[in-house]
Amino acid sequence: MQPSPRPFKTDRRRASSDPAKLLNDALAGARASDDAMSSLPNSSRGDPTVTDRSGPARMIDLAAVQSGGLEEAAEEIARLNEALTGYQVYEELARGGQGIVYRALQHSTGRIVALKVLHSGREVTARHLGRFAREIELVARLRHNHVVAVYDSGVVLGRPFFAMEYIDGLLIDDYVLLNRPTVNECVALFVRVCRAVASVHQCGVIHRDLKPGNILVDLDANPHLLDFGFAKCFDDDELQSLSVAGQVIGTLPFLCPDQVRDKNALADMRSDVYALGVILYLLLTGEMPYPVNGSPGEVCRNIVEATPGTLERRCEPESESCAVGPISADLSLVVLKALAKERERRYQTADDFANDLARYLAGEVVEARSGHRWYLLRKTLRAYRWHVAISSAFALLLIGSLIGITVLWRKAEHAARTAQASLQMGALARLAGIQRDEGRIDDAILLYSQAIELAAQAPERNIAANRYLYTSHHGLAQLYIRDPKTLDAGRRHCELATALAQQLVRDKPEETEYQRLLAYSLRLEGRIAEKSQNWERAVSRFNEAAAAFQSLLRFADPDNNLPLEYEVGFSKQFLGVAQCRSGDSKTGMETLQDARWILQRVYDRYPQSMDYLMELCRTEAHMVEWHLRNKTPEDHRIAEAMVLPAIHRLSLAIEDGTAASRLPEAKRLLEDLKSHQVLLEKRLRGMRRPDPT
């Protein structure tokens, strides 16, 4: 295996201070890169998504600034400071394919922020603008300690920008190089990286460009994910308008084999899992899993065909660019499972990867070797080594103590079968979710059903198994209620999901996640009752769901409670409509007004969220509809004051691209609002017309 040439970053602390030397070195690297690029089709040359600009290209950028572009960079900063209110821009931090990142002071808060501004010039296309707008929207919806937070966004000099959390730290491979952590310290750090990626996935977002250059480690050794310029939502139909057919999205050495084999293959959570595997392999060994210093064609062949060696015999003590210490066979197998060529054989989620790494750190059974019976027994006996030692001592006196070992073995096997069933259920449930998000409904139903069948065959179910069983029943319920013919089946699955959530809450009352699951299933029961026109049950379930989400706000961080507030407002929207349709329009309108206030408050705090805007406008559309039914002048005046701002907000979101993630739905809602406006104007003209008598 060839040592990695480490082309994926430039450590600004170690960059040469000699501009001429830096520029010459960069040009030499760029010429080599150009020779390699010549093997690509003409349509791919110069594509910023094929190559990583943190190597020679970034060195040229840096050298240009140091050897003659400094004045131009200073002029650009001066232009930004003149045009940008609320910020003082200090210096350029980095350049990427999407934009330029500056260090700046936010006057209103007095904090240092990272300011990302889209590139200027004729080379910026509508596709670049669309992607930049998508990045702002996607990052704004993410909430995790290890994902950079977005504070603000706007337009300056005709170019969009956004302000985000400034992280003072090192790229993760620089951190390992300079701090030389032990293997276990490195793995513990990487578990937090995987958890951050998992939180991104749980928000419905795939990163698609994970690499060391997009992971910063701060001064407290906390990792942070950066650069969501190539990220996408699971259900991004409009993403096709931002991509070229067959275009490679991401950084080539970190792309998974399925995307390299088929440029039109859809990226999913397992694509990010593969990239995480490549990064961890690099951090542990100081090398890439396969040679990456050839032409792009050769690199592609290596990604698809080359088999990474086992890590346990690859970590040389004299290596200076990797974690310190030996690598066990268990850890090697965990990393290699993440690097499986077939996506079905990888960990299905970043959480699964993190969980197996955590098992390795705890000395427990790892999923990567869960099929080996003697391995399971050996690990279990090691966990109970003091019990075994005492039993062995007594065995010298009593042969009958062997019975205790036999019982222990049977317990270990039973526990292993239970754990294996739980892992398989989780994999099936998550894979079903992927199929559902990709529109393959029949496949999703089959996988959810297989997970439920597996649960019935398991020797017993632990809490994790019940959690996955909940996911399967809830997922089937969501799919079945789409068709009136399968509504009864959806109701049965939803009731089972509710019962499982209630059991989880009883087992772990301190776990707020399980209380949230219960609230989701109660709301889904309300939607099913609504479809059956069982208004009494619908009102009851929506009321319980709203109260459950409201109670969770007591445990939430006041600075990070917008998602929960949104769920309260969303549930009250359903409740208000159900109350109106049940005949209690007075209470229903009061509930809808509560929902409107909540959603307005949430939207005002984060106007970048299309979810918040959509449900605010939908609530207003419901209220306008019921005011129009009353046909009184007062109701018409209230409706008029409500419908015009809603139309304006939604129209603006569609025009400026904010609604891109939910464009078809936004257009339908806008048409409904405009229809209400037409009817309202007709009514108002009738009221203003003088009485002919």
Please state, in angstroms and rounded to a whole number, the distance separating the CA atoms of residues 290 and 98: 28
User: CB atoms < 10 A from the CB of 580, how many?
Assistant: 22
Strands of the sheet containing 215-218, edge to edge, are 169-171, 215-218, 223-225
Identify the burial level of 253 via C-beta atoms within 10 angstroms of its C-beta, where 0-12 means exposed, 13-18 middle and 19 or more buried.
buried
- Residue 359 main-chain phi, psi, to 5 deg: -65, -40
Instruction: For residue 605, give the nearest of 122, 152, 156 by alpha carbon.
Output: 152
Please state, in angstroms and rounded to a whole number, the distance separating the CA atoms of residues 559 and 118: 28
- Alpha-carbon dihedral sign for residues 11, 16, 19, 20: negative
Residue pair 29/59 in contact (Cβ under 8 Å)? The answer is yes
Beta-strand ranges (E) seen in 186-228 are 205-206, 215-218, 223-225
Residues 6+ apart with CB under 8 A from 552: 512, 515, 516, 519, 564
Please state, in angstroms and rounded to a whole number, the distance separating the CA atoms of residues 175 and 180: 8
Residue 665 one-letter amino acid: E
Instruction: For residue 171, give the nearest of 15, 7, 10, 350 by alpha carbon.
Output: 10
By residue count, the chain amounts to 693
Residue pair 364/383 in contact (Cβ under 8 Å)? The answer is yes
Residue pair 175/321 in contact (Cβ under 8 Å)? The answer is no
In Å, how far from its chain's centre is CA 365?
27
Please state, in angstroms and rounded to a whole number, the distance separating the CA atoms of residues 172 and 210: 12
Question: Counting runs of H as helices and runs of E as strands, what totals does the chain give?
Answer: 24, 10
Instruction: For residue 475, give the nearest of 455, 507, 451 by alpha carbon.
Output: 451
Residue pair 553/509 in contact (Cβ under 8 Å)? The answer is no
Active-site residue flag, 559: no
Identify the burial level of 335 via C-beta atoms within 10 angstroms of its C-beta, where 0-12 means exposed, 13-18 middle and 19 or more buried.
buried
DSSP state of 117: E
Residue of 61, 152, 173, 209 marked active site = 209
Please state, in angstroms and rounded to a whole number, the distance separating the CA atoms of residues 222 and 216: 8
Instruction: For residue 164, give the nearest of 212, 99, 68, 220 by alpha carbon.
Output: 99
Largest CA distance in the chain: 116
Residue pair 586/637 in contact (Cβ under 8 Å)? The answer is no
Identify the burial level of 551 via C-beta atoms within 10 angstroms of its C-beta, where 0-12 means exposed, 13-18 middle and 19 or more buried.
middle
Please state, in angstroms and rounded to a whole number, the distance separating the CA atoms of residues 491 and 540: 15
Q: Got the DSSP string for 24-58? A: HHHHHHHHHHHHHHTTS-GGGTT-TTTS-TTSHHH
Please state, in angstroms and rounded to a whole number, the distance separating the CA atoms of residues 58 and 56: 5
Residue pair 163/154 in contact (Cβ under 8 Å)? The answer is no
Residue at token pair 């996607």: 138
Please state, in angstroms and rounded to a whole number, the distance separating the CA atoms of residues 370 and 376: 7
Which two structure tokens, joined as six digits, stand for 409?
């073995």
Please state, in angstroms and rounded to a whole number, the distance separating the CA atoms of residues 147 and 215: 9
Residue at token pair 């400094």: 70
Residues that are catalytic: 209
